Amino acid sequence: MAAHWRTGAAGLAVLGLTLTLTACGGAKVGDNSSAAGSKNSGKCGTFNLAVNPWVGYAADAAVVAYVAQHDLGCTVVKKDLKEEIAWQGFGTGEVDAVLENWGHDDLKAKYITGQKTAVEAGQTGNKGLIGWYVPPWLAKAHPDILQWSNLDKYAANFKTSESGGKGQLLDGDPSYVTNDEALVKNLKLDYKVVYAGSETALIQAFRTAEKNKQWMIGYFYEPQWFMSEVQLQKVSLPPYTTGCDAVAAKVACDYPVYNLDKIVSTKFAASNSPAYKLVKNFNWTNDDQNAVAKYIAVNKMSPDAAARDWVELNKDKVAAWLK
């Protein structure tokens, strides 16, 4: 979740489009294996929906896909893609919509301003917050750890076999928006960023650290259902000011609050498809997203079942999206 990137230091090379675009989990752009729709798709037709690799996004996609299928008769094709890869699909018609964009001014400049293959489709209503967090037990035992300037005196406690003699700062999926390597360097902290590899692995690390009273500091974000299970405590970094993250390599400030928004292909926006109108009208709260995400991640419900249960409890909200 690099300044305004959820694609971080690992970066993704720009790949060829069409079927050569690889997807998370081995799927490819153009792979219709996850299609689901009514027998009569009507005027909606096929709706190609990108799904980025975190459960909050999966919650967005579950509900939008459910409503598109059951209320609009769309054939929904979900495509598991990391962020930058999904944006590459706008120009080919293989991706119609990205439902949760975390800033990405670089991608907006390339695909909206430059190539004109994508357009903004309004905010989701979700507020995104990224930062460094510690488990509650640690914040209670050492309250001063919540101020970044005190982190170095505790660095030795965070050492792991992977951190090269420094304190470990655990990040998640390398494709997420992250300034952490630049922050560690520019704040002159005796830490090394280590990647857990996925949201699931990051959550489990925090869960274990709280249960076993282990020292851990890591990247995390909201909205996130896990905060209702373990109330992670945020470390105060130097305050964010407009433009402090403009040069990724020089970032020495906290992350901004992201007003998460939706991006769609230019062709999709011009299609007058009922699915486009749904995406444009889709708007909910962090609590809404967390509820569906928890159904999926904790209750082990299928995305479709999770969406169904939420929709049944929130018919007025859904009705507003369909106007």
Convert the pLDDT of each residue in 159-199 to its tens digit: 999 999 999 999 999 888 899 999 999 999 999 999 999 99
CB atoms within 10 A of CB 286: 20
Q: Are residues 54 and 194 in the same domain?
A: no
- Taking the C-alpha atoms of residue 85 and residue 279, their distance in angstroms, rounded to an integer, is 20
Q: What is the pLDDT of residue 72?
A: 96
Lowest mean pLDDT among 14-28, 96-110, 212-226: 14-28
Q: Are residues 297 and 185 in the same domain?
A: no
Q: Are residues 58 and 159 in the same domain?
A: no
% residues pLDDT > 70 (the chain): 87
Q: Are residues 177 and 231 in the same domain?
A: yes
Q: Are residues 136 and 252 in the same domain?
A: yes
| Average pLDDT value for residue range 132-151 | 98
Residue 110 maps to which CATH number? 3.40.190.10
Domain boundary among 221, 239, 257: 257
Residue 12 lies in a domain: no
Q: What is the pLDDT of residue 143?
A: 98
Domain span including residue 171:
129-257
Phi and psi angles of residue 239, each rounded to the nearest 5 degrees, phi first:
-55, 145
Q: Are residues 156 and 249 in the same domain?
A: yes
Residue 317 lies in a domain: yes
Phi and psi angles of residue 241, each rounded to the nearest 5 degrees, phi first:
-130, 150
Domain boundary among 257, 274, 294: 257
Q: Are residues 208 and 239 in the same domain?
A: yes
Report how far apart, in Å, the C-alpha atoms of 29 and of each of 15, 25, 198, 246, 321 are.
12, 12, 21, 31, 27
Question: Does the pLDDT value for residue 25 go beyond 80?
Answer: no
| Average pLDDT value for residue range 296-322 | 96
Name 161's Cβ contacts closer than 8 Å, sequence gap at least 6: none
pLDDT class of 43 with cuts at 50, 70, 90? confident
Q: What is the DSSP string of 249-275?
A: GG--SPPPEEEEEEEEEHHHHHTT-HH
Q: Are residues 108 and 153 in the same domain?
A: no
* Three-state SS letters, 102-126: CCCHHHHHHHHHHCCCEEEEEEEEE
Q: What is the pLDDT of residue 10?
A: 35
- Taking the C-alpha atoms of residue 65 and residue 27, their distance in angstroms, rounded to an integer, is 18
pLDDT class of 42 with cuts at 50, 70, 90? very low
Q: What is the pLDDT of residue 103?
A: 85
pLDDT digits (tens, 9 = 90+) for 242-280: 999 999 999 999 999 989 999 999 999 999 899 999 999
Name 164's Cβ contacts closer than 8 Å, sequence gap at least 6: 192
pTM over cut 0.85: no
Phi and psi angles of residue 155, each rounded to the nearest 5 degrees, phi first:
-55, -40
Question: Does the pLDDT value for residue 40 go beyond 60?
Answer: no
Q: Are residues 32 and 67 in the same domain?
A: yes
Residue 98 lies in a domain: yes
% residues pLDDT > 90 (the chain): 79
Residue 13 lies in a domain: no
Domain boundary among 257, 288, 303: 257
Contact present, 191 and 169 (Cβ < 8 Å): yes
Residue 181 maps to which CATH number? 3.40.190.100
Q: What is the pLDDT of residue 272?
A: 86
Provide the token pair at 211: 């249960």
Q: Average pLDDT over the chain, rounded to whole? A: 88
Q: Are residues 68 and 124 in the same domain?
A: yes
Question: Does the pLDDT value for residue 13 go beyond 90?
Answer: no
- Taking the C-alpha atoms of residue 54 and residue 59, their distance in angstroms, rounded to an integer, is 9
Q: Are residues 189 and 155 in the same domain?
A: yes
Beta bridge partners of 191: 167
Q: Are residues 201 and 114 in the same domain?
A: no
Q: What's the structural domain count of the chain?
A: 2
Question: Does the pLDDT value for residue 6 go beyond 90?
Answer: no
Residue 244 lies in a domain: yes
Helix, strand, or coil here: 78?
strand
Residue 116 lies in a domain: yes
Question: Does the pLDDT value for residue 33 go beyond 80?
Answer: no
Phi and psi angles of residue 175, each rounded to the nearest 5 degrees, phi first:
-85, -10
104: left (phi over 0), alpha (psi -120 to 50) or beta: left
Residue 10 lies in a domain: no
Residue 60 lies in a domain: yes
- Taking the C-alpha atoms of residue 80 and residue 25, their distance in angstroms, rounded to an integer, is 7
Q: What is the pLDDT of residue 20?
A: 31
